[in-house]
Amino acid sequence: MSSPPSRGRRVALEQPLGNRPFPRTAVPEPETARRRRLTQTVAVVALLVTLAYLGWRLLDTLNLAEWWISVPLLVLELHAALGLGLFAVNLWNVDAVPPPAPRDGTDLRLALLIPTYNEPQETLLPTVAAAVSASVDHETWVLDDGNRQEVRELAERLGARYLARPTHEHAKAGNVNYALDRIDAELVAIIDADHVVRADLFRNTLGYFDDNRIALVQTPQDFYNLESFEHERSFSEQRLFYRALLAGRNRWNAAFCCGTGAIFRMAALRDVGGLAMETVTEDIHTSLRLHRRGWRTIFHNEVLAHGLAAGNVLQYLSQRLRWGTGAMQLLRRENPATVSGLTRMQRLSYLTTLLGWFDAWRSLGYLLVPMVVLGVAAIPIRASFAVFAPIFIVTFLAQRYAMRRLARSTSSQGLATIFEIVRMPANLQATLRLLAGSEQPFRVTDKGRLGETRSRMPVPRLLWVLMGASLLTLGWAVASLLGITPVHYRVPWVAYGSMFWLVLNSGLLLAAIWRIRSKRFASERRASVRFDVDAPAQLGDVPARLLDASLTGARILVPLPTLAPSAGSRQTLAIQFQHRIYTFEAVVRGVNPGPDPGPAVVVGLEFLPGQTGARAALALALFQTGAEPRGVLEPEKRPVVRETAVAA
């Protein structure tokens, strides 16, 4: 028997497939007035406690004799307090704009645009199939900056229109702008090539456009590869931003485009000259220009598309570096603090986002301070332990509780801190580009298959340096307490407190390094996401059970004493999801012992090339789009659809 097939990226699906497997996708229930007031009260109390603490720190505990360490520490605390204040402002009310009723039709001309450059067909196929099958009449356009014949054929087979421009300047923004001049539509949705839309994308957002001042409706980004580098159990590194922070900005007419899952009014885009092309983050830059021209934007807090999250740290950091670089470019070119046309709260909202990249310097500072204190026996705080400890603990707990309530259960503070450390090298590099002023090209984040082997990811050098410095400092501190070094700690509690701080930092650094190096997040060798599914199947004439499936293959459990198929043999596989049967020609890639108890074998199958129609129909079911297959499928490759069940 051959070795088992690689399981790759996985998504667990429920049966029947009509249920949504992805957590927290619907519009959240509005908060009760009592709960909102309680959260707001907690935030105000935490801010008042923080202000009192900072006043006390400034007036009574600042050690000016060693200002070079005491003043930077106070600045770090001031910066953290400012962050809490902005957090409270942005999350004061996350239900400011109620969603409209769904619309099954419209007189407006609609288009859905899928810009692509180098994404493989395994990634593009579900994106195009779902886009074509979305409800409410519209055109789907595949905008191919790779000028690939196979992508043209895929688009045409699935019922989409294909467009490729002769030149390729300004990356995604230039690609979309070229199409805008050639498409007859009043509303255009922009969907990244690795995002699969639900059938209700237009249906649930059209109502906003009854207001002629609405230029943009943005929906959250969420992801179907729930074992990506960004996911941990129910935690998603981006959920706080997409399910809470952007919703809070509806209160100020300050929601902005996030690149995908956005529906634009064509007249508004023409008013600002199309998507902005001067920065690598055309989404937020275009939104800024829309707001400057007096247009309104809305964030619709319902996941209507699922995308492919960064699978490993290289993809993750590359993505963050591009976003941070774009933020710095925008600060140089069209700074929200100085440009005309914005309201006060819009300025504050944009600056909160753009300057948030500098939080990495605060994280670095908090990692370095205990090393400095222990290294040279510095005393940054002039107070007794009995006085400082209770005041600090009360302030810290008040801040953490306020942040937890404001986040509306969208974030885990411990995991969020680990991710702050992971992305710190990329964020620091991005902010330094503000000073350098050099132009940076748009770089597509590679996703999907990255190699033929699963190799562990490299750790950024900065994290290794900080980890090594932490361990050396800890050893130095212990030696100093034993009298081995010339350093003498004049205030013992400061030394012990700094050692505790250093050990905590070391634990966070170690957790970040472990996550980066984990085999779970090694380079991906599977071309498409594999979904765990328990469903009836049939291999030839033999009844079986489906264990998992992707657009490139499946694993099934075949009971014995059935004669097991041999590796390399060609087979017909029928899969039943609810009342549909999907039939594929496949080749056996592996046969392995089944799980106990019971005699059975696990058969790994790879679908043969082609079969575009069957793959498209399967994609709509696997990705839970809620859509019926549409589009023009190849007659000889249409999926077999019958109202009978496969033998169980």
The whole-number pLDDT of residue 19 equals 34
Query: What does R_g of the chain's alpha carbons equal in angstroms?
Result: 27
* The pLDDT of residue 218 is above 60: yes
Q: Is the peptide bond before 115 cis (omega within 30 degrees of 0)?
A: no
The whole-number pLDDT of residue 524 equals 53
Are the beta carbons of 498 and 374 closer than 8 angstroms? yes
Spatial separation of the C-alpha atoms in residues 637 and 635, rounded to whole Å: 5
The whole-number pLDDT of residue 577 equals 79
Q: Which CATH superfamily is domain 110-342 in?
A: Spore Coat Polysaccharide Biosynthesis Protein SpsA; Chain A (3.90.550.10)
The whole-number pLDDT of residue 565 equals 84
Q: Give the CA distances from residue 222 to residues 260, 364, 420, in Å, rounded to whole numbers and listed in that order.
A: 11, 29, 20
Are the beta carbons of 140 and 129 closer than 8 angstroms? no
Amino acid at 16: P
Spatial separation of the C-alpha atoms in residues 9 and 530, rounded to whole Å: 6
Spatial separation of the C-alpha atoms in residues 603 and 546, rounded to whole Å: 10
Are the beta carbons of 229 and 311 closer than 8 angstroms? yes
Nearest Cα to Cα of residue 612 among 159, 196, 268: 159
Q: Residue 420: enclosing H or E segment and its boundaries?
A: helix 413-436
Average pLDDT of the residues in 27-35? 94
What CATH number has the domain spanning 10-23+529-637? Answer: 2.40.10.220
Spatial separation of the C-alpha atoms in residues 288 and 342, rounded to whole Å: 8
Backbone angles phi, psi at 556, to 5 degrees: -130, 155
Query: HEC states along 219-266?
Result: CCCEECCCCCCCEECCEECCHHHHHHHHHHHHHHCCCCCCCCCEEEEH
The whole-number pLDDT of residue 341 equals 97
DSSP notation for 622-646: HTT------S---GGGPPP--SSPP
* The pLDDT of residue 63 is above 70: yes
Mean pLDDT (the chain) is 89
Are the beta carbons of 570 and 586 closer than 8 angstroms? yes
Q: Write the pLDDT tens digit of every residue in 438-485.
A: 565 555 555 554 444 557 899 999 999 999 999 999 999 999 999 999
In which band, very low, low, confident or very high, does the pLDDT at 112 lie, cut at 50, 70 and 90? very high
User: Which runs of consecutive H residues, i.e. helices, occur in 257-343?
Assistant: 266-271, 282-292, 313-333
CA angle (482, 500, 240) in 5-degree steps:
160
Average pLDDT of the residues in 320-328? 95
Strand partners, 196: 306
* 263 vs 629, more confident: 263
Q: How many CB atoms lie within 10 A of CB 382?
A: 17
Q: Write the pLDDT tens digit of every residue in 121-170.
A: 989 999 999 999 999 999 999 999 999 999 999 999 999 999 999 999 99
Nearest Cα to Cα of residue 354 among 318, 328, 380, 390: 328
Average pLDDT of the residues in 497-526? 89
Length of the chain: 648
Spatial separation of the C-alpha atoms in residues 580 and 621, rounded to whole Å: 10
DSSP notation for 381-419: B-S-HHHHHHHHHHHHHHHHHHHHHHTTT---HHHHHHH
Query: HEC states along 514-568?
Result: HHHHCHHHCCCCCCCCEEEEEEEEEECCEEEEEEEECCCEEEEEEECCCCCCCCC
Which residue has tokens 């670095």?
A: 364
Q: Write the pLDDT tens digit of every residue in 116-128.
A: 999 999 899 999 9
The whole-number pLDDT of residue 240 equals 94
Nearest Cα to Cα of residue 61 among 373, 376, 379, 498: 379
Percent of the chain at pLDDT above 70?
Answer: 89
Sheet with strand 196-197: strands edge to edge: 196-197, 305-307, 222-223
Spatial separation of the C-alpha atoms in residues 286 and 61, rounded to whole Å: 47
Give the residue extent of every domain in the chain. Answer: 10-23+529-637, 62-91+359-436+457-517, 110-342
Helix, strand or coil, per DSSP, at residue 71: helix
Average pLDDT of the residues in 545-555? 92
* 226 vs 171, more confident: 171
* The pLDDT of residue 224 is above 90: no
Are the beta carbons of 42 and 52 closer than 8 angstroms? no
The whole-number pLDDT of residue 438 equals 59
Spatial separation of the C-alpha atoms in residues 79 and 237, rounded to whole Å: 22
The whole-number pLDDT of residue 491 equals 95
The whole-number pLDDT of residue 78 equals 98
Are the beta carbons of 506 and 467 closer than 8 angstroms? yes
Q: Give the CA distances from residue 567 to residues 291, 392, 524, in Å, rounded to whole numbers and listed in that order.
A: 60, 65, 24
How do strand 110-116 and strand 139-144 relate by DSSP bridges?
Answer: parallel
Is the pTM higher than 0.85?
Answer: yes
Spatial separation of the C-alpha atoms in residues 545 and 554, rounded to whole Å: 11
Sheet with strand 296-299: strands edge to edge: 161-163, 139-144, 110-116, 187-190, 262-265, 214-218, 296-299
Helix, strand or coil, per DSSP, at residue 584: strand
Q: What is the torsional sign of CA 236, 242, 248, 249?
A: positive
Average pLDDT of the residues in 31-44? 97
The whole-number pLDDT of residue 1 equals 34
Among 33-47, 185-199, 388-402, 581-595, which stretch is predicted with the lowest mean pLDDT?
581-595
Spatial separation of the C-alpha atoms in residues 252 and 591, rounded to whole Å: 59
Mean pLDDT is highest, among 24-38, 203-217, 587-601, for 203-217
